[in-house]
Structure formats: C-alpha cells, structure tokens
Amino acid sequence: MRVLLRPSASRLWRSSCYVPARHAATTPFYRPLPEPSVAWRTDDVEEARRVAQAKHMKFQEDEAAELPLLQQRLVELRKERASLEKEQKDVGKAIPALAKAAPSSPDLAAKRERARTLRTALRDLDKTVSDLTARSLAIRSAWPNRVHPDVPVGPESVSQVLRVVDARDATWYPTRVPTLSLPCSIADFEQTATWKEALQANPAHDHLAVAQARRDGAIDMTTGIHTTGPSWPYLMGTMSMMEHAISQYALSKAIQHGFVPVSVPDVIKTDVAERCGFRPRDEVAAQTYFVDTRRMDDTDEASSLCLAGTAEIPLASLVAKQTYSVQETTANEGGFIATHSLPVKLTALGHAFRAEAGARGADTRGLYRIHQFSKVEMFAVTQADASDVMLEALRCVQEDMVQGLGLAYRVLDMSSEELGASAYRKYDIEAWMPGRGSWGEICSASNCTDYQARRLAIKYKKDGQNHYAHTLNATAAAIPRLIVALLETYPSKDHLLLPASLRPFWLGGPTDARVRWLEPNVARHTAATSSHVARRPSQSQASFHTSAQRSSGSLERAKQRIRALAARTGSDPAPLLVAFLALHELTAIVPLFVIAAILALLGGGDVLLEAIDHMVNKFAPKEDAVLHEWIARGRRMATRMCARCDAVLHGEEGAPAAAVWLTSLTAAYVAVKLLLPVRIALSLAWAPATARMFIMPLWRRWTPRRPPST
C-alpha cells in the first residue's frame, strides 16, 4: 500500500462533508448535521451574516438567498407528498374490495397500476425532499458559530490583554514587569513603555543561535529540507529530550487537574474535520495534508482521509454520537467513553500537521512555525450552562503549566476576527521570546458551545430530556514554541538551563551534568556560573537534617506552650487544641466567602489582586513567587468551587458571571492568606473560651473515664 500525502486545495474541501460516501468504511456513523428537525428563521440568516462579518469570514449571499426558495419548495413537496400518501391509502383500501367483487375488472387493473405509479412517485418525491433538505442543511452548517457578547469586535489589535505574569527566575531577571492597568487592547498595551524595560529584545538570544552553540543538542533545519522540505526540522540530543520532557510535564499537569489521558490517531476522516469546523480560510493557500493510498494522477477526487491539524479533532470524534448522564460527584477514571458522565475531560499528546507553515511571512524562522509538531491538547464536554466556567478552568490549567516553566506571559481575550468558525470565545496565552523580540502564542482555549455537538450528535440527558452538549478545547503545550521560549529566556553556552518542573521528566536523569535546574537553591549560583554549584546537593542534604532537628525542637516547645496555656485558662490541652484548629478554619472560610461575595458584587477582584501585587513588588519583591503560588492555588480552588456551584452562577439574570466569581474567589483566597497572623491571633484569643463552652463538655461526654488506680 502506498500512502500519498498532498496538501489540500480549497476545491478539495468543497462540500466534502455532504457528498455521499462510496464505501462503507467512509460512511459516518452519526446522523447528518444539524438534525433535520432543527428549523431556521429569517433572523438566523441576518445573525449569520453579522457573525461572518465580525469574524471576517466570507458569507455566501447567493446561498442565503437560496434558503427561502428551498423552504418554499420543501413546503410544496411535503403537501404533495401528503396528498399522494392519502391517495395511496385510498387505493390500497379499494384494491382488496375490487379483487373480491370482480377479480377480472378493468378498474382493478387500473387501481393496481395507479398503486405502482404512486409508489414510484413517492420514492422520487422522498429523494427530492432529502436532497433539498441536505442542501438546506449544508448551507446552514457552513455558517460560523456565534460570538460571545464580551468578545472585542475587530482585528487582532483590539484583543484585550487580561493579565501579564512574570514567572521568570528572579536571579536571572531581577527587574520585574511592573503593575499595569489592565485590561486594555493590544494596541494600547504595545504603546506602554513600562513593561518594555523589563522585557527587552535580544537578537543574540535567538533560539537557533542558542541551540547551535551547544554540542549536546541541535535543531537541524537543513537536513529536513533534503528529507521532506522546508520547515520539517530534526531535533537532536538535548533538544529532543526537551520535547519529551515538556510533553510529559504538560500531560502530567492535565492529569493532575482531572483530565483522562487518551492516545489518538493522527489520521482522521475529512468529514470529521469539517464537522469540527476546520475549513481552509484562504482560497489559495493549502492548509491540510490529505492521505491517500492511490497515485495522485489516478483520480481527481478528494481523499476521505487527512492528517489531523490538532488532537482536538480525534478527541471530538471519540465523544461523537454519545448521550451522557450528568453526575458531577465522581470523576471519570477512563474506560470506554460511553461510560463517562459530564463533565468529560480528555487530554492527548498528538502530532499536529499544518501545510500552511511558512506562508504567513514574518513568523517563519526556526521552530516557531513548522509543518509537524507535537502538541498536548485538552478537550472537554459540559452541560450548556457550564461551558463558561469550564473555559476559565482550562485557562487556569494553562497558566499553572506556563508558570511552572518560569516564563513571562500574557493572557489575551481574542477579538472576533481571530476566532475560528467553531469558536464562541477564545483565550490565547503568549510568552515573551527575547530572541524574536516579541510575544508568541503558546496556548489557546476555545469555547465552541454546541457548534461541534450539533454536527457530531453529542448530547446529555437531564430532567428526562436530551440536550446538545457544549464542547471546549485548549492547548496545554505547543512543544516547539515552548522550546523557543525556554531557550531564548534562559540562554547559556555552558549548560542547558531548564526549570526544575521538568526535572522528573528528563530522560537524562535528575543528575544529568548537561543541565542546570533553575530552582531556589540553584538559581542564585547559576547566574554567576559559580564553580561550587555542583556541591549544592550535599549542602541541601545537610541543611535538611538540621531543619528536621530544629522542627523537632519547635514541636516540643509548642506542646509545652499549649500545656501552659491550658493550665492558665483552665482548659484541657486536647480540647484547647481542637478549639484552636476549628477557629483557625472558621476564620479562613467565613472571610473567604464574605470577601468573595463583596468583590463579586462590586467587580473588584482584579483591582484587589493588582493592588496586592503592586504592594508586594514594592515592599517585599522577594515574596513575589510566594504570591503567584497563592494566586495559582486560589484559582484552582475557585475553579473547583465554581464547577460545583454552577447553578448559583447561572441563576437569576444579572448575577455575576463565572469569570467574576473566579477572580473574586481568587482575590479572597489571597487576602485570607495575607490575614494569617490576624487569624492566628484571633484563634488563640478565642480558643480558651470556645474550649470551655463547647469542646470540653462534649469531650468529657465522649471520653470514657478511667477507673481510679488502687
């Protein structure tokens, strides 16, 4: 069997979703899309026209004008079919009576002939109705998904910068990105000079130059030209090991957040890609590689198979034609997809194939835009009212992953012209790449609402009724671009500098001499390339035992203080400790929800976080990493709470949106963390009275009395 790869042309995609397949192997196992029962109104055409204009997509006016004619013709044909079916029923009743009364009657022969004519006419009529219905569905299926009302309308420059986070190693980059007034448009952000002082371009840090200076690894772009063509690189040695480490790190992060790992095929049906909303935007440039087992000159027909541009497509096909239950109490552990319940969360490492690499001009150097690359994808299926919360959760996973790599990045709410056909809303995360001197996209997260679900028959059952689900997808890691960002952020001729988060996944082992791991006890020496860096592990081990001894002594002193406090206040030590722990938790939980509710009503979550970040950078810059860790933990906590309390978020009209609650809960979590000394003081002050009034009576009732000693 010979496999032929050829880039698609726009003509190959023309109506490939709706042409009946010639072989059973290419016949879709799900129903046509959208379902024939889905009606449309005149307002739908105007809405589709408006959305296409907002997304800067071509809207076929001739096809839109064809819809009313199709609808009118279908109404006429259905009336005609009803008339013929009534006549067929009458003829069917008359034939037995005539056959019994006059078997040789000419009327009987005429009735039988009429019955045959009616069967043929109805069969032809059904085919015509089916063809016209398919044509109507094909026109409507080509319309793009709607746009979230908060999405900025216009080109990329009006996209909103929501967050800028500097997670780089503080020793390498002591100048931190200052607090900015966000959100703002990309155009306004680029005019701001303050962030450019901390994030400066340096062409000498170009990732190809950094890799070329190394002997233990290489990015070979030239040999790839001989093997396949331009933009098909080889990664050698430590560069290849970086790819594997980042892939495993991203998968590990996704699994930690409850995503089920899946191994997916890289070859998919073109019909599936169409149903997911992947159509060539450019009428000239080819974007998809087709797979064929025939010679190109054997046929002019489009192939039924192609290479996946993202693992999102095979993951979407995995959940196709499924009706899920809604049980958010237990997480899905794997097994057959039909046994899962909402929300379904999947992750996969796959190869992405993009035939248009290098066609955009500016961003074509090195690994930034290539034809084949590894990518870790996340995919989620939710209820219709839970997709907004899930989009925020996906973004939190992405930020958690990027922060762990020690990169400076910004989060964008993308404008309408940057949304694909299926996207309702999309967030992009861009990392600062000093060698390129610009920001580069490394992650994206999209809410596709029911666009893909209608085309792939993905539903869920709730309150005894079936509803179309919502699907979301997010890039956990675009591996080559993360390699670019890491090499350009931490360039070194002597050693490969990598974040410690990759250490457990490094194929060379944690003690590989070619790598210096950027972690708190190593980074201070790495910047100066000190000769005693290699001795740090033994020093760390010694300090560990000393700390253990100090901790043991501190524990004994704490016990003595508790006994002394109990004796002074007339309490038993155990009830006193229980009271203190209970108060410590209450002084965290109650302020958390009170502060979050106030911030959600006032919309002040972002303001509070920015104020705290500004104060920490000004008065305690060394605690910046601790603050970002608190923010990351707060976002994870807020994501879980919003997912569990989704009914509250989507209750009455005018209630705070999911994004507002996420930010408010995160800010409240950080505020409660900062109030730790106050909480401890209050808990210590109230613990004796609480122990005497509440804990000790219960303690004495439940604790069996010991018999007196003789």
Contact of 383 with 459, CB cutoff 8 Å: no
Contact 340, 318 (CB under 8 A): no
**Number of neighbours of residue 368 by Cβ within 10 angstroms:** 22
- The pLDDT tens digits for 227-243 are 888 888 888 888 899 99
Residue 329 binned pLDDT confidence (cut-offs 50, 70, 90): low
Helix (H, G, I), strand (E, B) or coil at 644: helix
**Cα dihedral 376/382/384/388 (nearest 10):** -50
- DSSP assignment, residue 406? T
> From CA 549, how far away is CA 543, in angstroms rounded?
10
Question: CA triplet 645, 650, 652: central angle to 5 degrees?
Answer: 120
* Contact between 490 and 172 (Cβ < 8 Å): yes
Chain-centre distance for alpha carbon 415: 18
**Can you read off the two tokens belonging to residue 445?**
């997260």
Which pLDDT tens digit goes with each residue over 462-516?
Answer: 888 899 999 999 999 999 999 999 999 999 888 889 999 999 999 988 888 898 8
pLDDT tens digits along 73-116: 888 888 888 888 888 888 888 878 777 777 777 878 887 888 88
Mean pLDDT of all residues in 19-40: 42
Q: What is the pLDDT averaged over residues 11-18? A: 32
What's residue 538's pLDDT?
33
Cis check: omega of the bond before 343, within 30 degrees of 0: yes
Please state, in angstroms and as integers, the Cα–Cα distance from residue 204 to each residue in 213, 292, 350, following that order.
11, 44, 32
Q: What is the SS3 assignment for 364?
A: coil
Q: What is the pLDDT of residues 171-198, one digit of tens each?
A: 888 777 877 778 889 998 888 877 887 7
645 falls in which pLDDT band (50, 70, 90)?
low
Q: Which pair of tokens denotes residue 582?
A: 């209970």
Written as six digits, the tokens of 416 are 């309408």
Structural domains in the chain, CATH included, are 42-142 (1.10.287.40), 156-279+306-517 (3.30.930.10), 554-648+655-702 (no CATH)
Q: Which pair of tokens denotes residue 345?
A: 């969360």
Q: 651 exposed, middle or buried (CB, 10 Å; 0-12, 13-18, 19+)?
A: exposed
Burial of 532 (0-12, 13-18, 19+ CB in 10 A): exposed
Could you read off the pLDDT of 540-574 as tens digits, one per residue? 333 333 333 334 455 566 667 777 777 776 677 77
CA separation for the pair 141, 17 (Å, rounded): 10
Q: Confidence band (pLDDT; 50, 70, 90) for 447?
A: very high
DSSP per-residue string spanning 404-442: HTT-EEEEEE--GGG--SS-SEEEEEEEEETTTTEEEEE
The answer to whether the beta carbons of residues 473 and 350 sit under 8 Å apart is no
Peptide bond preceding 183 in cis form (omega within 30 of 0):
yes
At 167, is the secondary structure helix, strand, or coil?
A: coil
Neighbours of 692 (CB within 10 A): 17
Classify each residue of 332-349 as buried b or exposed e, where b means 16 or more C-beta atoms within 10 Å of its C-beta: beeeebeebbbbbbbbbb
Looking at residue 432, what is its pLDDT? 92
